[in-house]
Structure formats: C-alpha cells, structure tokens
C-alpha cells in the first residue's frame, strides 16, 4: 500500500465530523475539492454577457503619497442588482498599482469601514513594520476604543497588537524584480471574509530589464484577477461567517471551514465576462484571488496549432525561459504571467477560458472573442531573465512543515502547522537574513503555502521533479493532499517578524499560520 493511501485513511478517520461531510460532497472527486460550495440565492447571469472591466490605475496624490480609502460602496456586479462591497477606494478589485523597481512608494491606508483592517503587499520585499502583519490594525473612527484582546489566537499576549487610529502609511521600497504582485486585507482571524467583501487589488512592478524585452504591452497586456463569490437573494455577498459583524467570533459554519467556494466566477469583479481581442498576442497576468478555489485553466477550443499558453512569469518575476503549456494550475494566491497568441484562431472565434476543476457554470471563467486582425510587434524571446538553477546544496538548514487539520486541542480541531495553531507571540523558524533553506512541506488537504518576504523555487514534488508550471521565483506553492513538496527559500531584504501561512483564506483564519523571524 502506498504511503499516500495510509495517510489518507488516517486523515478520514480524524475527520469524523462536519469537515468529512463536505469533503465527500458533490462535484469533483474528493481529492480535487479545495473547499465547500456556497450557492447563490439569486439567479446568476448567463456567462459571457458582460464586458471585461479593467481596474483603474492608482495615482499618487499631490504630496507623492498614494492614498487608498477603504470604504463601503454599492456596485452592480450582477446586472440589475446592487451589491455592497468593502473596497479600496470603494472599488472591487481595488485600483491597480503600476510602479517601478527601485522607486519606493508610500501608500496611506485610510479605514472608514465598520471593522479594523491590515493591508499586505503579497510578494513584496517589505520591511516587517509595513508588511501588514495580522495584528497590526488600522482601527476606523467608529471603533475608537476597539479592544482586540478577545481573539482566541492571541488572547494570552496583548503585546502583539499594534493599533493605528484611522490611517497608516506603508513604505514599499520595491527593490525587487518586475512581477505581478497583489495587495489584500490580512486582519487576524478575519482575512477571508474581508477579502471576500472586496479588499484585494493588483500591484504590478516593472523594471528596465523587462522593458527591454519585446513582450506584448499597452492594450496587449491585461490583468485578470479571478475570484469566486456567492450572492444572497437581495444581491448582498453571501458568506457563512459565524459572526457577520466580523467583530467578535471568527470562523465559518460547518463544512465551510474547508474553504469557501462561490458559484459565481468573477474576473476583475465581473461575472464570466467577455473580452474582444485582435488576432495577436496578449499578455495575461492571471491571479487566483479566490479564497479557496483552485484553478486548472485551459482554452476551449485549444489553438489548432501550438500550445494554449506560453508562461513567461511566475509569482515574483519572469521565468528564465518561456514555458509552453496547455494547462495552467493556479492555486489561491498564485500568479501566472502568460502570453496567448490569438493569431492561432480564425477571426470570429470565441475562445473560452475554462477551469477544469469546476463543475457546471463554475467550469467557465471568461471568454475571448477574436474580432479582427491587427499588426503585432510583440515577440517572446527565448531568454527572459536570469533565474539561477536551484541547487539544494546551497541550503544552510532544512526544516519540515506539516500542514494538517489537527487537534482536538483547547479550541477543538483546527488547521495547523506542525500541530500548532497560530501564535503571534512565538516563531516556528528563525532563518538568517541572506541565507537559503530547504523546506519540506506536507499536507492532508489542498494547502497553497505562502511565505512572506522569502521567495523560493520549487525543487521537488513527491520525490520527483516539480511540475512544469512550478518554475521560476515564487511566493506561493500549490500543495495537494498527501503531497510532499520541497522548496528552496531565500530570505533577503529585512530582518524581523513575518508570517508563513496557508493561502486558503479560511484555513489561514483558522490558525494555519506561523511566525518566521528573520534574524
Ligand atoms: Cu496573500 Cu499573507 O498573504
Ligand atoms: Cu504575502
Ligand atoms: Cu490550507
């Protein structure tokens, strides 16, 4: 019997309660489920009936500082219905940052929401005080006097809390290569519902090395923030919080503690949109911003010749060389920077971007309509960037982290790392600045593992080579049930306290997080 089968049996034995019910629920096979489906209570639109929106570009104020006001807004997400969201500048997604390597920026967050927030630049090499640590909160005026001390994950040590009244200004040095990053809420215990309500946006870093390449640009470059949501009959966002005020008890109901998957797929905030394209190359910066849903993206129909996608970049930068793929697996938090050449299709073709892990309508993501020919000056060079070949011999230290549902402990069964729930007062590892470590990650379910500050390369999956889409510098890796994934992680930039966590946001909120002290 394979070790995987033994551990699976052990795992199902452990899951006698609610989670097992969801795990064996409808739809895709149990090992491919990455959350529990939440169904909308209003009729959803037909796919491909709304145009693809592209978020506005963030602009700095007169003093050179960007300001994002977190506020409530009512948007028409489902045609004919109003949905209240919590957004950066009242938009969902938030404005896209389009910034340059080596040009530091300041971003002031002003919180007018009914809850505290914390804002994290995902993929950023950021000093710890500006990284959006989960207990560093911006408290809105209406919650003056807010006492966070009730949190079950931090009740014992009050010193972990740092509260800013109404505003906080982040400084992002941006001393890192061109990449597709994103920013989102990171509040302790409530990240999942706060991102779900709209607190997420794209953050693009450019540099001279990338500008020198003939990659598609301008109109031929499109960010695609993909997420899933469910709606109540009145148009509001449906989410199974135990405490919908998000002020007291964290957590979600029943089987949803596996992760929340909505039945509406949104791209840049629009349900199953359509984009008209010319028969030329487009660079698509794909972000999986779903709380829990994994994506296995393909084009339908596939191009008559050539690969569907040419991957040029991963989470935190360009690949060394382009990688031709027909299938793109993107877990929560991961990015795939790809080029699609619509010249492969006759004008008039409608090409659907599908998620082969979805069922029914959630199998569709969006559609491209090839409407005309055009001149294309772009090309994909054979060499994109200098990415060193990872060598485990560089590792000065080995560590192992097991991502599992553990317990029962004092707070019942929880998603934990090495059997420990998140403790903001203690650290699970203390890598030295400037060194490389070899980490082994194991799991009992789908756990997209994300490391703050440290960027890594995947060096092995289950004792074999990584998969084709694992290449390049990453900050998040898709770890499937009973997989053993090895990464070579390098900590550069800053000393201080950072976190590592599962990017299934429900798991993150339910304690699957740990401090990493970079010393
Ligand atoms: Cu995208 Cu710590 O998160
Ligand atoms: Cu991050
Ligand atoms: Cu997880």
CATH fold label, 218-372: Immunoglobulin-like (2.60.40)
Q: Work out the number of other CB atoms within 10 angstroms of the CB of residue 349.
A: 16
* Gap between the Cα atoms of 402 and 45, Å rounded: 41
Distance 302 CA to ligand 2 centre (A): 33
Q: pLDDT tens-digit profile of 307-325? A: 999 999 999 999 999 999 9
Q: Do the strands 364-372 and 200-206 form a parallel or antiparallel pair, or are they unpaired?
A: unpaired
Is the pTM higher than 0.85? The answer reads: yes
| Atom from ligand 1 closest to the CA of residue 513 | 2
Residue 429 scores a pLDDT above 50: yes
Closest ligand to Cα 185: 1
Closest ligand to Cα 123: 2
- The CATH number of the domain covering residues in 66-211: 2.60.40.420
| Closest-CA residue to 488 (of 433, 427, 441, 448) | 441
Q: pLDDT tens-digit profile of 205-215? A: 999 999 999 99
Distance 119 CA to ligand 3 centre (A): 21
| Closest-CA residue to 357 (of 124, 28, 115, 96) | 28
**Sorting pLDDT into bands at 50, 70 and 90, what band is 362?**
very high
Residue 453 scores a pLDDT above 50: yes
Same fold, 66-211 and 218-372: yes
Which sequence spans correspond to the domains of the chain?
Answer: 8-33+387-518, 66-211, 218-372
Distance 201 CA to ligand 2 centre (A): 13
**Sorting pLDDT into bands at 50, 70 and 90, what band is 407?**
confident
Domain 8-33+387-518: CATH superfamily, name plus number: Cupredoxins -  blue copper proteins (2.60.40.420)
Distance 443 CA to ligand 3 centre (A): 8
| Atom from ligand 1 closest to the CA of residue 122 | 1
Mean pLDDT value of segment 217-234? 98
Mean pLDDT value of segment 68-96? 98
| Atom from ligand 1 closest to the CA of residue 508 | 2
* Gap between the Cα atoms of 242 and 244, Å rounded: 6
Distance 119 CA to ligand 2 centre (A): 10
Q: pLDDT tens-digit profile of 27-61? A: 334 457 889 999 999 999 999 999 999 999 999 99
pLDDT score, position 94: 98
Closest ligand to Cα 480: 3
Average pLDDT, the chain: 92
Pocket of ligand 1 (CB under 6 A): 120, 122, 184, 186, 333, 450, 452, 499, 501, 503
Distance 256 CA to ligand 1 centre (A): 20
| Closest-CA residue to 452 (of 470, 425, 475, 422) | 475
**Sorting pLDDT into bands at 50, 70 and 90, what band is 159?**
confident
Which residue lies with its CA nearest to atom 1 of ligand 1?
122
Which residue lies with its CA nearest to atom 3 of ligand 1?
122
Distance 169 CA to ligand 1 centre (A): 19
Residue 51 phi/psi, 5° resolution? Answer: -75, 155
Closest ligand to Cα 121: 2
Contact between residue 136 and residue 146 where contact means Cβ atoms under 8 Å apart: no
| Atom from ligand 1 closest to the CA of residue 123 | 1
| Atom from ligand 1 closest to the CA of residue 132 | 2
Residue 81 scores a pLDDT above 80: yes
| Atom from ligand 1 closest to the CA of residue 182 | 1
């Amino acid at each position: 019997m394979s070790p995987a089968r033994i551990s699976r049996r052990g795992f199902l034995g452990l899951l006698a309660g609610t989670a097992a019910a969801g795990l064996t629920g409808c739809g895709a096979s149990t090992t491919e489920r990455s959350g529990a489906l939440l169904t909308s209570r209003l009729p959803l639109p037909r796919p491909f009936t709304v145009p693809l929106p592209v978020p506005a570009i963030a602009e700095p104020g007169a003093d050179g500082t960007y300001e994002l006001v977190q506020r409530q807004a009512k948007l028409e997400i489902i045609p004919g219905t109003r949905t209240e969201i919590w957004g950066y500048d009242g938009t969902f997604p938030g404005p896209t940052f389009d910034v340059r390597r080596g040009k530091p920026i300041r971003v002031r967050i002003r919180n007018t929401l009914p809850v505290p927030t914390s804002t994290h630049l995902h993929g950023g090499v950021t000093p710890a005080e500006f990284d959006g640590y989960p207990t560093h909160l911006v408290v809105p005026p209406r919650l003056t006097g807010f006492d966070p001390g009730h949190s079950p994950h931090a009740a014992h040590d009050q010193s972990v809390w740092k509260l800013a009244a109404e505003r906080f200004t982040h400084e992002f040095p941006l001393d890192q290569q061109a990449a597709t990053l994103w920013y989102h809420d990171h509040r302790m215990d409530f990240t999942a519902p706060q991102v779900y309500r709209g607190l997420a946006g794209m953050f693009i870093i450019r540099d001279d090395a990338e500008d020198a390449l003939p990659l598609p640009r301008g109109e031929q470059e499109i960010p695609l923030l993909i997420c899933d949501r469910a709606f109540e009959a009145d148009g509001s966002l449906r989410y199974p919080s135990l405490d919908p005020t998000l002020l007291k008890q964290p957590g979600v109901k029943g089987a949803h503690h596996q992760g929340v998957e909505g039945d509406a797929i949104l791209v840049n905030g629009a349900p199953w949109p359509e984009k008209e394209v010319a028969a030329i190359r487009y660079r698509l910066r794909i972000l999986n911003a779903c709380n829990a849903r994994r994506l296995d993206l393909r084009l339908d129909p596939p191009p008559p010749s050539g690969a569907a996608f040419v991957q040029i970049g991963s989470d935190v930068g360009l690949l060394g060389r382009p990688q031709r793929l027909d299938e793109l697996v993107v877990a929560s938090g991961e990015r795939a920077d790809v080029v699609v050449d619509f010249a492969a299709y006759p004008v008039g073709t409608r090409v659907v971007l599908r998620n082969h892990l979805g069922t029914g309508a959630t199998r569709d993501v969006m559609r491209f309509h090839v409407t005309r020919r055009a001149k294309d000056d772009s090309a994909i060079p054979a060499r994109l960037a200098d990415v060193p070949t990872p060598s485990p011999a560089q590792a000065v230290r080995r560590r192992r982290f097991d991502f599992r549902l553990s317990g029962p402990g004092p707070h019942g069964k929880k998603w934990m790392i090495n059997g420990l729930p998140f403790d903001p007062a203690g650290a699970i590892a203390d890598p030295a600045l400037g060194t490389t470590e070899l980490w082994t990650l194991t799991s009992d379910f789908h756990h997209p593992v994300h490391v703050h500050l440290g960027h890594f390369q995947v060096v092995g999956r289950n004792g074999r080579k990584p998969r084709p889409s694992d290449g390049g510098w990453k900050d998040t890796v898709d770890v499937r049930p009973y997989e053993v994934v090895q990464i070579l992680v390098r900590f550069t930039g800053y000393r201080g306290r950072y976190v590592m966590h599962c990017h299934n946001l429900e798991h993150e909120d339910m304690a699957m997080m740990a401090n990493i002290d970079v010393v």
